[in-house]
Amino acid sequence: MPINNFMVATEPLGDALASEIIRDNQAVVDTRFVVNYFHLSDDQRLIFGGGENYTRFFPKDIRAVVRKRLLAIYPSTC
């Protein structure tokens, strides 16, 4: 059974917002059935994974699918 999980990256957030979002530069994952997971890149982008489907096809707009989940957790990132 195919399972696809999708990721996006923000523009660089800057040190202040990046440290407000994730203290101590930790990788984070939640415990939802369809998990969200995220971490900061070296240039302070938030790399965010969330949303999935169970088909061999991809959504027409992966960014929109993942962005909705990202904004539900971190509205200040976009």
pTM of the model: 0.80
Domain positions in the chain are: 4-77
How confident is the model at residue 78, as a pLDDT? 65
Across the chain, the runs of DSSP E, i.e. the strands, are 4-9, 28-29, 36-40, 46-53
- 22-55 pLDDT, tens digit each: 888 899 988 888 788 999 999 999 999 988 888 8
- Measured CA to CA, the distance from residue 59 to residue 46 in angstroms comes to 22
Round to whole Å and give the CA distance between 62 and 76. Answer: 20
